[in-house]
Amino acid sequence: MAFTTVLIANRGEIAVRIIRTVQQLGFDAVAIYSDSDRHSPMVTLADSAVYLGADDLSQSYLNIDAIIDAAKRSGADAIHPGYGFLSENADFARRCQEQGITFIGPNPETIALMASKRLAKIAMEQAGVPCIPGYQGINQTDDALINKAQAIGFPVMIKASAGGGGRGMRLVETPEDLVAALTSARAEAKSGFGDDELILEKALTRSRHIEVQIFGDGHGNVVHLGERDCSIQRRHQKVIEEAPSPAVNAALREQLGAAAVLAGQSCQYLGAGTVEFLLDDNNQFYFLEMNTRLQVEHPVTELITGQDLVAWQLKLAAGEPIPLSQSQIPLSGHAIEVRLYAEAPSQGFCPQTGSVLHWAPYSADGIRVDHGLVQNQPIGSQFDPMLAKVIAYGDDREQARCRLIRALKNTSLLGVHTNAAMLINLLNHEVFRQGEATTGFIETEFGSDPSLSQAVIPSWLWALAACVMAQQPNTGGSALNLANPSRLRLKAQEDVAELQMSFDSSGWRVTADGQQHQINLSRDGAAVHASIDGLHQKFTAVNHGQQLWLGYQGQTFQFEEFGYSQSPKNVHDGDGVIRSAMDGVMQRIEVDVNDRVSKGQTLGFMEAMKMEMPLIADGDGIIRQILAQPGQQVKRQQPLIEITHQENDHDHA
């Protein structure tokens, strides 16, 4: 082999996954880490680890100089970039090359070509790969883009040329919305990628997102390993991926594979790549983009082919030929992957922060969980909100689907809210069951699902929470010795419940919301076994100060105890103070002091966990103060803008 020690220039679950294959092949693995990752599994698993600095990405995982220096200090002669961060950064690949370090990926020229959606599309058109009608010219003025959009026809898709992950992307339905969308897309592209160049494409509103995994050995030899269906997306970011696609038959698979191989051959591709297509309802497919790296969803391809794609990357980077010919690559069974995010679907998918108080991934035949989590690990706003990937394999699609639902219901993560309940409902939805979901599925057919609104907590769950809070782990009775009826007041979300409860030899009797419940429970650590009105069920629970985190069937609830002198705080109660929903960066302000605003008006935007979040006026009034400026780091609940509401605004009457 051409190298002996591999530094993984990444973090979290992908770093853990790469380390394992690196070590299985007999190489040494080096991890890099920032402050919040100091005790993460990747540091523990690696043969050595190098501290980069603070969590600020410019000082850690995006710091090319520090990473190159870490490779030299640790004796690493190869670098695997994982995905995200610097994985598609041509300058990083070039620096590795200049320092005599093997970059496990394509050459810098290929990365640079495919990093530009504009240049990539031009190259694919020249190679004969089918492309979506659109505009990828150098004239970037508003007038030019408006004229081209009108020629293409609405709806039209705006995309950041240097973008990815849905950032800098806007769907425009009517000409009236175009200028505002161009301004917003440019700003997000500039902030996220340092490049505000845009392209336009005809929007295929009822399309599927199909991608083909390819590998090249740098000598013109390219093969594909089948397709993945990534149509289930929210805000243009993938949520569920599966292989093979339920929409692709053998003949279409051959056509897709041939087009993807042609794309790879056109640029002498080396290593792992993914050619992404949109498939319309007439089974016509069009080139979307090419990712010059390993994909988040690569496990589904590994499961249906039986191949370790990271091992293929390492071998090809060392100069070996492609391990199998096209005819030798098996495609068997079905695999589905879901991305477990730290986000609240009921709050517009707002990213969530916190600390991992309990983590217990489900383990069973046909289940794979890729993660980089550890107890007490902080979940901050500086990184992508994806926490783990849960993948199921089955002999057929239905078996994989059922296994995955069970895995999600029995995976427990407490301390931060996740999208697990939404994932379960997605997998159970009839449109998904029938394999008919398109890229607009979540916004259209799934838009009224209960997981997208605040959960209604039933009386029995309030009662159970009160009992769990009162009864400590590993005790069979009441820690509070409540022989006589007692009253307890709990809050969850923005709801409040007053409960009357008592305990005797027969267990707990609790009245919640006018309903009486009989509860018996036992606790063993985080495991809770409870009989509620005669029905035995399993839960997970962690006490954290005055709070209780309770997990049940993929749902997570956070309860808080407070006395009668207290009242629940509602940061959205119309007090005129617009606060940050979480830690992040102020992006832009769209109002000035003394401006008159209306309830629901967008006042500005902040960014956290790669997501742009609007700041919305909570009532009619006048801007009194602007307390944060663009580029400023802000903390959760930090006041950003103050409004004097009209009913209290005597000075401006």
- As annotated, the active-site residues are 293
93 half-sphere exposure, CB direction, 13 A CA radius: 21
Q: How far apart are CA 408 and CA 404, in angstroms?
A: 6
Cα Rg, the chain, nearest whole Å: 26
Q: Are strands 102-103 and 515-524 parallel, antiparallel or unpaired?
A: unpaired
Tokens of 63: 């710091």
Nearest one of 121, 124, 125, 128 to 161, comparing CA atoms = 121
DSSP designation for 72: H
Residue 407 three-state SS: helix
**Contact yes or no for 103/96 (Cβ under 8 A):** yes
Tokens of 527: 């495991």
What string of DSSP letters covers 470-537? HS-TT-SS-TT---S-EEEEEEETTEEEEEEEEEETTEEEEEETTEEEEEEEEEETTEEEEEETTEEE
207 half-sphere exposure, CB direction, 13 A CA radius: 19
**Residue found under tokens 């698993």:** 45
**Residue 644 one-letter amino acid:** T
Distances (CA, A) of 119 to 109, 113, 114, 116, 290: 12, 6, 7, 5, 11
Four-point Cα dihedral 15, 17, 22, 28, nearest 10:
50
**Residue 115 one-letter amino acid:** A
Distances (CA, A) of 112 to 108, 135, 156: 6, 19, 26
Q: How far apart are CA 79 and CA 107, in angstroms?
A: 13
Q: How far apart are CA 540 and CA 523, in angstroms?
A: 9
